[in-house]
A and B are shown apart, each in its own frame.
Chain A
Amino acid sequence: MNLEKVVFGFFVLLAATLNLGFFVGDIANPELHNIYELFAALAVSLIATVLKFGDRTQIGAVHLATSLVADLQLVAAGLVWVWATEIAAHGVTAESTASMVSLSGGALLANLVSVVLLVTETVTFHRG
């Protein structure tokens, strides 16, 4: 067992699961989407990105790309939330919630691709 692989797989999966946890639920209902979950998803996604640094293989490059997409989407979702709570006059509306959650939905897709890549890599790995 390779500890590096464990850590890598852990963070990739955790990023996807946290993202999914934030995403599920009625898209326009702010009560169903906890902002702390979004924050955790973003932090873990950033860690996963850094873990993917410095891999020279083709699959490593795609891994890094998916993570960067996820980061971008989650940061955008976070900005929508900041705008809704701090700047906009109406506070968190159904509209802004929907926009935030759909952005995190995009990040979820990227994270899923990442997980698929991880699984494919593991399945195609031949010992010897």
Chain B
Amino acid sequence: MSNPLLVFWAQLFSRPEPVSRVPPQAHIESSSQATATIFLVMRRMRVPLITLIVIFSVSVVGLTLIPGVDADGHRARLSIFESFYFMSYTATTIGFGELPYPFTPAQRLWVTFTIYLSVIGWAYAIGSLLTLLQDRSFRQAVALQRFTRKVKRLREPFFLVAGYGRSGELLAEDFDALGQQLVVIDHSEDRVNALELGSYRADIPGLVADAANPQNLSAAGLDHPFCAGVLALTDDDRTNLAVTMTAALLRPDLPVVARTVSATTGDRMHAFGTPTVVNPFDRFGEHLRLALNAPSCYQLLTWLEEGPGAELPDRGRPPTDGRWVVCGYGRFGREVTADLRAADLQVTVIEPTEQDEPDPQLIVGDPSEPEVLARADLASAVGLVAGTDDDTTNLSMLATARRTNPKLFLAARQNRPTSAPLFEAMGVDALMVPTEVVAHEVYAQLSTPMLWRFLQEMPARGDRWAADLIRTLQQNCGRELPALWKVKLDRRQAPALVRWLAERSVPLGDVLRSPEDRERRLQVVPLLLLRDGDVVLTPDDTTVLHPDDELLFAGEASERRELGSTMLVDSTAAYVLFDQHIPSSWVWRKLSRRHVAPAPVDEHVEDHGEDRVEEPTHR
């Protein structure tokens, strides 16, 4: 039915547009560092090179001055050219022999001398060159230049990722699966090596450098027209703040996502433009609250945030009434306590250090000691949050708590990636890994802006709705999260549909018919419809589509291709929408003009709550 060539053609020529043609606010000479080192190398090569020139000149002139004897026994001297030729092959250890005729003892004496001289000269020059090539600063300069060149040649939108830690790695995997190009900058050589070893589809340029330095950011493509966003994901709040600041000052048009664990740094970041600040502790508290209030919503949220191919997580059932015990009243503990109290739950806090504000429910003591835990009366509690910044303490607390009260709901904070198997063996009910929280959050915000919108609006629809949607998604796409993609119904992305949308009322259900057999519905779940800034979550099949509507779909790649051909190919669209066969080729369509305008089909049901009168639109 569809013409694959047309689809291919449309994809081939829908070249990505530069994200911005706005010139950067200030130009930074990023390559100056690199050239400086190259100049230094040239400077250091001066002495070896001059030594070599002098040795050659002296040897050549000396050889021409010493008298020799030619084949007939006449006195003859080597000319400068012959002498230079001889020295060239002797000094480079090629050694063709004594040309053009055998040397006299006087000449041989001089040649012996020059051989040793030239060997010293070469050894010195080559040795200096090799030392320079091994030089750390020189290699860094070369790496910087190669990286800069690679970034400059990028001709597709890319995200600049500062910090390739655990969250950076998770994000790189997710974005690479989506075909989104990245550029990575990290101060640790090990991490950049890990990036090069990682099995990514795209070639991701990586640089070992301090991201807080604007020159390095500029080299990584901050002022590149295709730069689509900046992600500050290092484990250092100051660096993240510096990256946010640099991006906001030099490229105010770019979206910035910054990670921080401190609310103060978050406020300071907000002083520069409108960055999206991700605080993993804050987010975990919110997630915990959502998990308490609406477990299905929470399940859907974690599933969608995890990225393509993720397994459907189990639906946790945290206890919604009773007393919680929070161990560790640091930044994480405070956020969680506040969120639990906001959900009308009683909270007992255990903290080793004395707090400024007196809290009746605060127990001062080391939470890893069993008697301190006993004071919190775990037997009557329903949940425990092990939230200190030390994994060993957290694990020992969990073990003690489980022994005391096996029915406790256990939530824990995992600090180091190496502890993951231990927490898994412990069977924790809710595990908070700050790096993963950041990665999922950033993925949800940047992969498609509509997914973020969806996640924002979703909790308001209630738990039952979320459970239904999970069931629909599972029926259509299985237990693994399918690809999410968005389509804007405009001339570029859906040329075949736009014409009909303007003239008729086309319900979503008709668009989602299969181009192979229009009685079959594509296994595609529409998640969101965005029209003039208003959103409709999970629009149903009777929703009438308008031009310039934006839709977020979930479905397998094969189904996506079929939907793509409906959107791009006129004949497919006519078949899918109206069950009409019009010729695919331009010539036949011209010849059979009568088919171009199919007879009006009016049996479509009007959209519920749609008060728009179907007027004949002229575009």
Contacts and interface: CB of A to CB of B under 8 A. Distances in A.
Contacts of B82: 86
Main secondary structure of the interface of A (DSSP, over half): helix
B45 A53 contact: yes
Interface in B57-84: 57, 60-61, 64, 79-82
Interface string B32-75: 00011001111111100110011011001100100000000000
A43 interface: yes
Contacts of B79: 85-86
A28 B82 CA distance: 24
A82 interface: yes
A51 interface: yes
A56 B49 CA distance: 19
A36 B82 CA distance: 14
Contact of A36 (B43, B80, B81): B80
A46 interface: yes
B54 A85 contact: no
Contact of A50 (B40, B46, B57, B64): B46
B47 to A, nearest CB: 9
Residue among A46, A50, A81, A82 with most chain B CB within 10 A? A50
Interface string A32-68: 0001100110010011001101111000000000000
Contact-residue bracket for chain B? 20 to 34
Contact of A51 (B46, B57, B64, B80): B46
A54 B53 contact: no
Contacts of A36: 61, 64, 80
A39 B46 contact: no
A121 B60 CA distance: 35
Contacts of A40: 57
A46 B39 CA distance: 18
Contacts of A86: 79, 81-82
B81 A54 contact: no
Nearest to A43: B57
Contact of A43 (B41, B43, B53): B53
A98 to B, nearest CB: 20
A85 B45 CA distance: 35
Contacts of A35: 80
A82 B81 contact: yes
A82 B49 CA distance: 25
A54 B43 contact: yes
Given A56-B35, A56-B36, A50 B80 contact: no
Given A39-B60, A53-B42, A54-B46, A46 B53 contact: yes
Query: Which 9 A-B residue pairings sit nearest by Cβ, starting from the closest?
Result: A54-B43, A54-B42, A43-B57, A53-B42, A50-B49, A82-B81, A54-B39, A46-B53, A50-B50
6 contacts: A39-B60, A43-B56, A53-B42, A53-B46, A54-B41, A86-B81
Given A54-B41, A55-B39, 15 more contacts: A43-B56, A46-B53, A50-B46, A50-B53, A51-B46, A51-B50, A53-B49, A54-B40, A54-B42, A54-B43, A54-B44, A56-B39, A82-B81, A85-B79, A86-B81
